[in-house]
Amino acid sequence: MAFPKGFLWGGASAANQYEGGWDEGGRGPCIFDAITAGSATQKREFHSEIKEGVYYPNHTATDFYHHYKEDIALMGEMGFKTFRMSIGWSRIFPRGDEETPNEEGLKFYEDVFKELKKYDIEPLVTILHYETPLYLANEYNGWYSRKLVDFYYHYVETIFERYKDYVKYWLTFNEINCIAIGDPYMAGACKKVDGVSLDQVTYQAAHHQFLASAKTVKLAHEKYPQFKVGMMLGGLFFYPNTCHPLDMLEFQKMNYQQFYFCDLQCRGYYNNHAKALLKSKGVVIQMEDGDEELLRQGTVDFISFSYYMTINASVSANPELALAGSGIASPRNPYLTATDWGMEINPEGMRYFLNELYDRYQLPLFVVENGLGAVDELTEDGKVHDPYRIDYLREHIKVMDKAISEDGIDLMGYTSWGCIDCISAGTGEMKKRYGYVYVDRDDLGNGSLKRYKKDSFDWYKKVIASNGEDLD
Ligand code: BG6
Predicted local confidence at residue 327, as pLDDT: 72
* Cα 326 to averaged position of ligand 1 atoms, centre (Å): 10
Mean of the per-residue pLDDT values for the chain?
96
Q: Find the catalytic residue in 175, 250, 344, 429.
A: 175
Whether the Cβ atoms of residue 327 and residue 426 lie closer than 8 Å to each other: yes
Q: How many CB atoms lie within 10 A of CB 394?
A: 17
The distance from CA 68 to its chain's CA centroid, rounded to whole angstroms, is: 20
pLDDT class of 320 with cuts at 50, 70, 90? low
* Cα 297 to averaged position of ligand 1 atoms, centre (Å): 30
Q: Hey, whose CA ends up nearest to atom 2 of ligand 1?
A: 425
Nearest ligand 1 atom, CA 418? 10
* Residue from 143, 154, 131, 278 nearest 216 by CA: 154
Give the side-chain half-sphere CA count within 13 A for 325. 25
Say whether pLDDT at 224 is over 70.
yes
Predicted local confidence at residue 182, as pLDDT: 84
* Cα 152 to averaged position of ligand 1 atoms, centre (Å): 23
* SS3 annotation, 311-361: EEECCCCCHHHCCCCCCCCCCCCCCCCECCCCCECCHHHHHHHHHHHHHHH
* Residue from 261, 255, 262 nearest 240 by CA: 255
* Residue from 114, 111, 301, 126 nearest 224 by CA: 301
Q: Could you tell me the CA-to-CA distances from 167 to 65, 103, 116, 280, 368 in Å, in that order?
A: 19, 18, 10, 41, 16
Least confident span in 52-61, 147-156, 309-318: 309-318
Whether the Cβ atoms of residue 255 and residue 286 lie closer than 8 Å to each other: no
Whether the Cβ atoms of residue 10 and residue 419 lie closer than 8 Å to each other: yes
Predicted local confidence at residue 319, as pLDDT: 53
* Cα 14 to averaged position of ligand 1 atoms, centre (Å): 9
Distance, in Å, from the CA atom of 90 to the CA atom of 135, rounded to the nearest integer, reads 9
Q: Hey, whose CA ends up nearest to atom 3 of ligand 1?
A: 234
Active site residue 292: no
pLDDT class of 74 with cuts at 50, 70, 90? very high
What is the amino acid identity at position 280? Answer: S
Say whether pLDDT at 321 is over 70.
no
Q: Could you tell me the CA-to-CA distances from 31 to 48, 185, 402 in Å, in that order?
A: 8, 9, 40
Nearest ligand 1 atom, CA 130? 8
Q: What average pLDDT score do residues 140-162 get?
A: 98
Predicted local confidence at residue 41, as pLDDT: 82
Active site residue 110: no
- Round the CA-based radius of gyration of the chain to a whole number and report it: 21
CATH of domain 8-465: 3.20.20.80
pLDDT class of 318 with cuts at 50, 70, 90? low
Predicted local confidence at residue 324, as pLDDT: 56
State phi, psi for 54 to the nearest 5 degrees: -100, 140
Q: Could you tell me the CA-to-CA distances from 239 to 71, 97, 135, 319, 336 in Å, in that order?
A: 38, 42, 39, 17, 12
The SS3 call for residue 83 is strand
* Residue from 285, 290, 139, 162 nearest 214 by CA: 290
Share of the chain above pLDDT 90, in %: 94
Q: Could you tell me the CA-to-CA distances from 415 to 27, 104, 404 in Å, in that order?
A: 27, 28, 16
- For β-strands 411-417 and 451-453, DSSP reports them as unpaired
pTM for this predicted structure: 0.97
pLDDT tens, residue by residue, 379-414: 999 999 999 999 999 999 999 999 999 999 999 999
Share of the chain above pLDDT 70, in %: 98
pLDDT tens, residue by residue, 284-312: 999 999 999 999 999 999 999 999 999 99
State phi, psi for 85 to the nearest 5 degrees: -145, 160
Could you tell me which residues are beta bridge partners of residue 7? none
Predicted local confidence at residue 30, as pLDDT: 98
pLDDT tens, residue by residue, 152-193: 999 999 999 999 999 999 999 999 999 999 899 999 999 999
pLDDT tens, residue by residue, 15-39: 999 999 999 999 999 999 999 999 8
Least confident span in 39-53, 365-379, 412-426: 39-53
Q: Hey, whose CA ends up nearest to atom 16 of ligand 1?
A: 424
Distance, in Å, from the CA atom of 129 to the CA atom of 133, rounded to the nearest integer, reads 11
The helix, strand and coil proportions of the chain, stated in percent and rounded to the nearest 5, come to: 40, 15, 45
Contacts of 150 (CB under 8 A, 6+ apart): none
Most ligand 1 atoms within 8 A of CB, residue of 17, 306, 392, 431 to mutate? 306
Whether the Cβ atoms of residue 271 and residue 261 lie closer than 8 Å to each other: no
DSSP E strand stretches across 152-252: 169-171, 228-233, 237-240
Nearest ligand 1 atom, CA 424? 16
- For β-strands 302-306 and 228-233, DSSP reports them as parallel
* Residues with a CB atom less than 6 Å from ligand 1: 14, 17, 174-175, 234, 306, 369, 373, 417, 424-427, 432
pLDDT class of 331 with cuts at 50, 70, 90? confident
Distance, in Å, from the CA atom of 420 to the CA atom of 432, rounded to the nearest integer, reads 12
Please name the helix (run of DSSP H) or strand (run of DSSP E) that holds residue 221, with its range, or none.
helix 198-223
- Largest separation between any pair of C-alpha atoms in the chain: 64
Nearest ligand 1 atom, CA 371? 11
Most ligand 1 atoms within 8 A of CB, residue of 417, 429, 431, 434 to mutate? 417
pLDDT class of 274 with cuts at 50, 70, 90? very high
Whether the Cβ atoms of residue 324 and residue 341 lie closer than 8 Å to each other: yes
Nearest ligand 1 atom, CA 235? 3
Most ligand 1 atoms within 8 A of CB, residue of 424, 427, 443 to mutate? 424
Predicted local confidence at residue 466, as pLDDT: 98
pLDDT class of 325 with cuts at 50, 70, 90? low
Could you tell me which residues are beta bridge partners of residue 83? 11, 123
